[in-house]
Amino acid sequence: MAARYLVDTNLLVYALDRREPEKRERAREVLRRVGSTGSAALPAQVLSEFANACLRKLEPRPEPATVRREIERLLLAFPVLPLTGPVVLEALRGVREHLLSYYDAQIWAAARLGQVEMVLSEDFNPGSVLDGVTFINPLDPAFDPTALA
């Protein structure tokens, strides 16, 4: 089954962040839903950003070995889309044509070139569509997680 959703870093971080319990529970629910159906993928960039955010922003700070185990778990749960030269070039087009920040453009480019329809993230304008990629904020209280198939 091809991935229907691309998961952004913020969902992975919120799933572990004890400082925001509501977002934590919502992120966990979303990840359970898309993980159990095999309908989501992770760009390689997200794994890198996730490791960095865990080691620098979470309180209490996890040990690197703990972060490694979490990434190993994610690798078992989700296919990973590679960061390739064409993704970088497409991201630069996203910066130029869609005025995205570079790293947001790289997420969009990974989805677009990986033929993934939707990006699950709170970092984009929800409901917007860029060259066939739709952005959804599953952390918005108005969003119904049961809509994720």
Question: What residue spans define the domains of the chain?
Answer: 5-140
pLDDT in tens, 113-142: 999 999 999 988 888 999 999 999 999 999
Look up the CATH number of domain 5-140: 3.40.50.1010
Counting as low any pLDDT under 50, the low residues of the chain are: none
Question: Residue 126's pLDDT is what?
Answer: 85
The C-alpha atoms of residue 139 and residue 136 are separated, in whole angstroms, by 9
Question: Residue 73's pLDDT is what?
Answer: 95
Question: Residue 21's pLDDT is what?
Answer: 94
Judge whether 3 and 114 are in contact, CB under 8 Å. Answer: yes
Helices 85-98 and 102-113 pack at an angle, to 10 degrees, of: 120
Q: What is the pTM of this model?
A: 0.93
Please state, for a pLDDT cut of 90, what percent of the chain lies above it. 87
Question: Residue 31's pLDDT is what?
Answer: 96
Question: Residue 1's pLDDT is what?
Answer: 54
Residue with tokens 């952004």: 8
